[in-house]
Structure 1
Amino acid sequence: MTTNTTKKPAIAAEDSTASTEARPERTRRALTVVGPPLLSEAQKPVPITLSQHLRIGGADYAPGAEISVSPDYARRLRGQGYVART
């Protein structure tokens, strides 16, 4: 039994460098907020230190990890005992 296959042409070296030059450079990294997003642009994320293991959005955070969350989410985590006392 035979199948028809076609080979894809090799990409020229010039084409691969041209595509990397066309990408814009990132000068400033966006602040990562864990959990629910901020409600408005005026809200500032709150840094908290965790007292217990916490899994948010498929990512695990160990006790002592410092994460940035929205003020509302920080209040909920404090009430549930996830924020370390400082």
Structure 2
Amino acid sequence: MTTNTTKKTTAEADESAAAATDITEARPQRSARRTSDVVGPALGDGQQPETVTLSHHLRIDGTDYTPGAEITVSPDYARRLRGQGFTART
């Protein structure tokens, strides 16, 4: 079985490498929407963080939180935690 292949010359290889470099440099910088004190998903536009007290052990983003720990989360995430029974009734 034969395969038709063409070898790139060094000039063509340099041009394709330069083109790949130009593409990566043209990408815009991502802005960090997550603040360091908010645990879990990032806040949406115009949302204020909520503080919840956990009733069960919970692992979020590789960090363990014990029962009774108070964490600051987005309102959407707080609603999900309440619905799943992870927050204390206080």
1:39 and 2:44 matched = yes
Identify the residue that residue 82 of structure 1 maps to in structure 2: 86
Q: State the one-letter code of the partner of 2:79.
A: R
Q: How far off its partner does 1:78 sit?
A: 0.2
Write the distance in 1 (CA, Å) between the matches of 2:36 and 2:88.
Answer: 22
Q: Helix, strand or coil: the match of 1:72?
A: helix
Identify the residue that residue 67 of structure 1 maps to in structure 2: 71
Structure 1 outlier segments of 4+, above 3 Å: none
TM-score in terms of structure 2 length: 0.60
Point out the structure with the larger helix share. 2
Residue ranges of structure 1 left out of the alignment (5+ in a row):
1-29
Write the distance in 2 (CA, Å) between the matches of 1:45 and 1:31.
Answer: 12
TM-score in terms of structure 1 length: 0.63
Write the distance in 2 (CA, Å) between the matches of 1:63 and 1:71.
Answer: 20
What is the aligned length?
A: 56
Residue ranges of structure 2 left out of the alignment (5+ in a row):
1-34
Identify the residue that residue 50 of structure 1 maps to in structure 2: 54
- Which has the greater radius of gyration? 2
Q: CA RMSD in A?
A: 1.1
State, as a whole percentage, how many aligned pairs show the same letter: 68
Q: How far off its partner does 1:31 sit?
A: 5.4
